Amino acid sequence: MTRTTTWTPTSGTGVWSLLGAAAAEAVSHGSPGWIGLDAQHGFYDDRSVRDTLHAVTGVDVLVRVRSLDAGEIGRALDAGARGVVIPMIESAEAAARAASAVRYPPAGSRSWGPFAPYWGRAEVGVEQANRQVVCGVMVETRLGLDNVEEIAATPGVDMIFVGPYDLALSLGVALDDLVAGGKGELRSVVSACRANNVIPGVYAGSPARARQLAGTGFEVVAARSDRDLLIDGVATLG
C-alpha cells in the first residue's frame, strides 16, 4: 500500500483548466469534483496559479506542474493546491523524488512556507498537510508504462495519472485505439494502481472518452477542459 492521502473527491469527474484564473473561478461555480490547473501546457504561470488558488474555494484543486521540480511543486502547494500532478515520470526513483517533494519532514523534503496566513486563512499543520496532500505522477511514455508496477509501489505515490495523448505518441498508436483497449496498456495501469491502493487517474478531454475510461477502471477523470466547455456553450446559442 503506497497511498497516504486522505483525499476523496466529491466526484471523480473533474474539469481541466487551461485558460487561467478567471476561467477556473467560473468553472468552480459548477461544482465539479475537482479542477486541474495546467501549468505545463496551459496559460498558468506562478502568479496565475496563486490567483486561482486564492479565488477558488469549495473545490479541490490539483496543479499539473511543468516538471519534477521541488521548488515549483512547493510553490503550488504553498498557494493552497490540494495536490500536484507531475509529468513524465518514468521510474520508481523519480516517483520517490516526487513523493518526497510534496511532504514535509520527516516524511519528505518540502520546505515550510504556506500562503494561508497572508490570505487570512487557517494554517494547516505539518501532519495534517502530509495526510491531505495528493502526490500524482504521470505515466505517459513507453518507459513509464514498462515501469508502472514499480512506480505504483513507490511509497507516497497517491495517484498515477495517465496522459493518453503522449502515451499514444510514445507507443506509436492512435489515441482512440489506446482508449478503446489497445493491447491492454491502460488496464495494466489500473491493475498496478489497484494492487497498491493507488488512485488511477486519466485525462479524457470529452464526455464520451471519459465514460470509456471510467469503464476501464479509472476513478479520477478529467472529462473536459474549460476551453472546450466554453466552445460547447457558445455552440448552443444557435
Question: Residue 91: which residues within 8 A CB-CB, separation 6 or more?
Answer: 143, 144, 147, 150, 151
Query: What kind and span of H or E run contains 109?
Result: none
54 is catalytic: no
Tell me the backbone φ, ψ of residue 186, rounded to 5 degrees.
-70, -35
* DSSP state for residue 39 in the 8-state scheme: T
In this structure, the chain runs to a length of 238
Angle at 151 between CA 111 and CA 61, to 5 degrees: 50
Q: Of 8, 11, 41, 112, which one is the catalytic site residue?
A: 41
Question: Residue 38: which residues within 8 A CB-CB, separation 6 or more?
Answer: 16, 17, 18, 44, 64
Cis peptide before 87 (omega within 30 of 0): no
Positions marked catalytic:
41
